[in-house]
Structure 1
Amino acid sequence: MIKKTTRFSIFVFLFLGILAFSQEKKKFSSIPNVLQQIEPNDRVDSWVLVYNSYGKGQEIKTSGGKLSYTPQFSGFNLFPTEDSFYYIAYSQGGKINYVIDVEALKKFVGKIDNAQEAAIVLAADGYIVDEEFKDLAGNYHEDRSNYYLDLGKLTSKECPYQKTHYTLTINKATGITTNVKDNGTYIELYNKKCANNPRLLKIEKKEEPKKDEPKKTTKRK
């Protein structure tokens, strides 16, 4: 009886340990790293991921043989305030194709194979990996059935500018987002042009001098 109890206790502790490990949140290291985890499902002969900054292109991942492609002057981005951009050139059936927007990127990814690809697919719906606030909007965990991603989203470009963070549940088998939890706003910025800026509402009006108040005169010695 004691042996059975001991075995059961060991099993429970092991189970809880595995469960705790599976629930541990992992931060997305960077957007370039997220993009490098792409595993296209369509038959692609070779492809290259290019990062363009100030007109200069840098290949940050190549897969397959050497690819001869034309540099692109526009592309996609997974963070709304970036001035630079990314694009993908790939060879399929002897033809060179380009991925320069998030919808084409979503199609290129195809079936979701990992949490990074889940974040990339969700970028087509406006969700972002916020590298400045990874604890709130740049991490994930997973279990046998789902990916759970904490991502940000720009929810207002007007006054005040704001971002909201969400927890999204993505089914591993279907790639469908089964639940979206709104965790609230984590950035709210006002500027001087905002009519609803709380600071402007607190400006004290200067008191005008009373009309009946006599003027002070200086006496001559």
Structure 2
Amino acid sequence: MASKFTLFILLILGISAFSQTKKKFTNIPSVLNGIIPNDRIDFWILVHNEYGKDKEVRTSGTKKDYVSQSSGFNLFPDEDSFYYIVYSSAGKINYVTDFDALKSFIGKIDNVEEASIAATIDGYLIDEEFKDVAANYYEDTSNYYLDLGKLTSKECPYQKKHFTLTVNKKSGTITDIKDNGTYIELYNKKCTNNPRLLKIEKKEEPKDEPKKPTKRR
């Protein structure tokens, strides 16, 4: 009996440890691929536009002709590209080109990908360059736990912080935010508050040594 109880406890602990194993978001297209549209639609297409050229990342349903868009939404700041979604509902072609429309298109949070997109709309970011600190997650039966970044300053210094967001699976709302601190802080030559520059400025200029008198023969 005792051995069965011990085995049960180990099984529960194993499940708990497994559920808390962090998984990394592969990339932003894979996150967007996880979208489950809120309403019944005929088809939808995820399009990535880079330097004016469209690439269809995902097609669901039988697509119809559509017009290429000149603007869209971006899940990562300062990129020379954007995404947009084309979909048909009741035979009418519609376009998702901003965060408000994207939020409406997603509707209820159905999975961890949609939870991370909703967080991005609220100002966080999936940082593909720093997946260990700002592009990963784990989950349990009640919540998603997202490790995401946030651009906190574009001025001097350029700065990013990372946070752990607890998202309730049932409501889709963020119930807790843990600040994990700064993971990027970059100064440039124009930064007057650059610590290295301040140290250089504080150095005293070398004093001129008195000239030794020359001996006359």
Amino acid at match of 1:89: V
Residues 1:89 and 2:86 aligned together: yes
Aligned to 1:183: 180
Give the alignment of 1:46-85 within 5 angstroms. 46-85=43-82
Indicate the SS of the match to 1:202. helix
Distance in 2 separating the partners of 1:52 and 1:216:
76
Indicate the SS of the match to 1:132. helix
Large movers: runs of 4+ above 6 Å: 215-219
Distance in 2 separating the partners of 1:25 and 1:116:
14
Amino acid at match of 2:206: E
Aligned 8 A contact 1:49 1:87 in 2: yes
Aligned to 1:130: 127
Q: Structure 2 length normalisation: TM-score?
A: 0.94
Distance in 2 separating the partners of 1:40 and 1:30:
20
Residues 1:207 and 2:213 aligned together: no
Residue 214 of structure 1 deviates from its aligned partner by 5.6
For residues 91 and 218 of structure 1, do their structure 2 counterparts lie closer, same or farther at Cα, with a shift above 3 Å needed? farther
Q: Structure 1 length normalisation: TM-score?
A: 0.92
Which of 37, 40, 44 is equivalent to 2:41? 44
Residue 216 of structure 1 deviates from its aligned partner by 7.3
Aligned 8 A contact 2:45 2:63 in 1: no
Deviation per CA, 1:47-91: give whole Å up to 9, x if none.
Answer: 100011111100010111122110011111111121111100111
Aligned 8 A contact 1:45 1:91 in 2: yes
Amino acid at match of 1:206: E
Residues 1:114 and 2:111 aligned together: yes
Aligned length: 215
Identical-residue share of aligned pairs (%): 64
For residues 176 and 216 of structure 1, do their structure 2 counterparts lie closer, same or farther at Cα, with a shift above 3 Å needed? same
Aligned to 1:99: 96
Amino acid at match of 2:18: F
Residue 45 of structure 1 deviates from its aligned partner by 1.3
Residues 1:173 and 2:170 aligned together: yes
Structure 2 gaps of 5+ residues are: none
Aligned 8 A contact 1:51 1:85 in 2: yes
Q: Report the aligned-residue RMSD.
A: 1.8
